Chains A and B, each alone.
Chain A
Amino acid sequence: MTGTIVRKEILSNLLSYKFTAVIVLVVVLVATSFFVMARDYKERLADYQLIRPEPGAPIAVLPPNPLSIFARGLEEAMTRSFEVGAVGIDVRAGQSSGNVIFSFFPTPDFVHIIKVVLSLVALLLGFDAVSREKEAGTLKLALSNAVSRSSLLLGKWTGNFLSLAVPFLLVTGLGLSVMAFDPALRMSPGALGRLGLILAAALIYIALFLSLGLLVSSLVRRSATSLVVLLLLWSVIVFVLPNMGSLLARQIVDVPSVRSLSEKRQQIWTREVLLSYGDRSGWGARIQAMNEEFDRMEEDYRLKFNRLVRTSRSINRISPAASFVDAATEIAGTGVSEETRLKSEVIRYKNQALPSLARDRTAREAPAFSYRARPLGEVLSDGGLFDLAWLSVFTILLFAAGTVAFIRTDPR
């Protein structure tokens, strides 16, 4: 019985202009995103070849991450070049993308399209799934048969989910196959596995919004009401809540600005230079002492900053959109935790490279910087799994609430 309803939902979608238009939009957006982001990646790769440090230079710079094509995250910050000097680390813009347009619009990566557009599309499929049938009287007619309300709703859910998931996976698969023809874009099995996991997270995310759509559609009498309510919820979930977390966290955790930090550092440097004027004997020791002071300052800053990040992440998780982006970027290796980890690795590297610098400022014998992103298992145990589980639980709760609402609904 459920199968009949699934088939009917899919057929009904295929025959509707609304659905066709929406799917064309998804296909075009995903394809465009792949094209733009892959080109951007190749440009950054070429950039990296240019700024790649010579052996022995005390510079830490990461090659671009191929998964940043899909989940850009903090890639920009992570591929900056960190140059170790006597007074700390000089951070330069790394492989900047030549795409000026990125500074006007949010980066149109895959994760962003899923977060904003696919959630909306899922709602557009779900918002009138029940209410339209009330309006058309077909719900009464269907329920005059030996079909239970829960299997009717399950059929509707499955049919609409497949209607969206199948074209989405198809265009993604097609895009990946096209990219596989370009040697520069070929991805390792590990990266493909991570991408698969991001896709799984995307499917859960779509399922969540579809369940939300069916819930509201079962609660209201008219499709127009359902649409208004859902658009409001969507904008809160996708845009308002993810920013609320950072705002709230800033109130809770007090972090000095980066500028005050670098100014303080400059002051110490000037003081030391003035103090040691004419007396260069203890310079090496002074540098050492200064460096320790900077380290303490930075350590303090980083602790506070990390607390800010953690707090805002926890608050943001209320929004499924933030949870999804968090999970996807961490899995891709462009997430907040990965970037935090990279920064502490860079500091460790600085302390490692410093002695050789203190000996001879022109020496080029610093060890090479090497960084390996956390293995997937660690990403998952470190919050990724929590995000995915939370998305799943939320989806199940919404679906359950939708079922209850649908069972109680008056079919007229």
Chain B
Amino acid sequence: MNETQSILKAEDLSKRYEDGVLAVDHLNLNIYPGEVYCLLGANGAGKTTTINLFLNFIPPTTGTCYIKGIDVNRDPLEAKKHVAFVSENVMLYGNFTARQNLDFFAKLGGKANLAKEDYYQVMRRVSLQEKAFDQRVKNFSKGMRQKLGISIAIIKDAPAILLDEPTSGLDPKAATEFLEIMAELKTEGKAILMSTHDIFRAKEIGDRVGIMKEGRLVMERTRQELQVEDLVKIYIDYMKSEPLI
């Protein structure tokens, strides 16, 4: 396996739902170790669908997703060993404390022998307040749950991370801290695919930024290109160019 092999790969990926909506339209994507890819796009552009296809929640209509070279559709269990996931707005188990939630998902993620201190450490890393560690998640705010969701992804320690609107609901301080965590994970060599509506943070954190529209990847820019181009303007332009029928 050479250095440049992509960890997350979508090949000619399409998804047409039963009701006829073409949510993802022949998408090709490669995300490499140590790279953060930000997926922008209006509501309904197909970002969540793309992530769901990577996780084998729904079967693709055409094409294939690979995680670490493993065909997700053919060997989903093996593929999912190598990916961590942060979903948008997960409620988690309300009856469980933060640590109990973390413990359960860590075990599902194949991390069986973690000590109490390991859990505390990762919760500190996402700067969840100390007193919440052993409190029931039921009373957590959205941002607190989001942080816990991120710590669940971190503790799995997988080479690929998929995040669906991870910063929604985070306060500015927490969002900044989140970007720092992403930067750390990047230096650890993770391949990160993140859908977001936050253009500014996408520009800040993304090594590459893609814009999706009606299931198609209509634009892709690297960090270097964005130094000279204005991402906001590009985004607005692409959103404006509605085909007139």
Chain A residues, Cβ within 8 Å of B108: 1, 4-5, 142, 145, 147
A257 within 8 A of B: no
Q: Looking at chain B, what size class is its interface with the partner chain?
A: 20 to 34
- Least CB distance, A114 to chain B, in whole angstroms: 28
Contact between chains at B93 and A145 (CB < 8 Å)? no
Chain A residues, Cβ within 8 Å of B109: 145
- Cα distance, A141 to B146, chains bound together (Å): 13
Q: Which residue of B lies closest to A18 (CB)?
A: B95
B77 within 8 A of A: yes
- Least CB distance, B237 to chain A, in whole angstroms: 32
Which residue of B55, B58, B77, B87 is within 8 Å of A137 (Cβ)? B87
Whether A143 contacts B90 in the complex (CB less than 8 A), given A4-B107, A12-B95, A16-B95, comes out as no
Contact between chains at A136 and B93 (CB < 8 Å)? yes
Which residue of A1, A15, A137, A410 is within 8 Å of B90 (Cβ)? A137
A49 within 8 A of B: no
Q: Looking at chain A, what size class is its interface with the partner chain?
A: 20 to 34
Q: Which residue of B lies closest to A147 (CB)?
A: B108
Binary contact readout A380-412 vs B (1 if CB under 8 angstroms, 0 otherwise) = 000000000000000000000000000000111
A140 within 8 A of B: yes
Contact between chains at A145 and B90 (CB < 8 Å)? no
B110 within 8 A of A: yes
- Least CB distance, A7 to chain B, in whole angstroms: 9
> Which 3 residue pairs spanning A and B have beta carbons closest together?
A144-B85, A136-B91, A137-B90
**Known A136-B92, A137-B89; further 20 A-B contacts with Cβ < 8 A:** A1-B108, A5-B108, A12-B96, A136-B91, A137-B90, A137-B92, A140-B57, A141-B92, A141-B105, A141-B149, A141-B152, A142-B105, A143-B55, A144-B84, A144-B85, A145-B156, A146-B80, A147-B108, A410-B57, A412-B52
Instruction: List A residues at the B interface (Cβ < 8 Å).
Output: 1, 4-5, 8, 11-12, 15-16, 135-138, 140-148, 410-412
* 6 A-B contacts (beta carbon < 8 Å): A136-B90, A137-B87, A138-B92, A141-B92, A144-B80, A148-B77
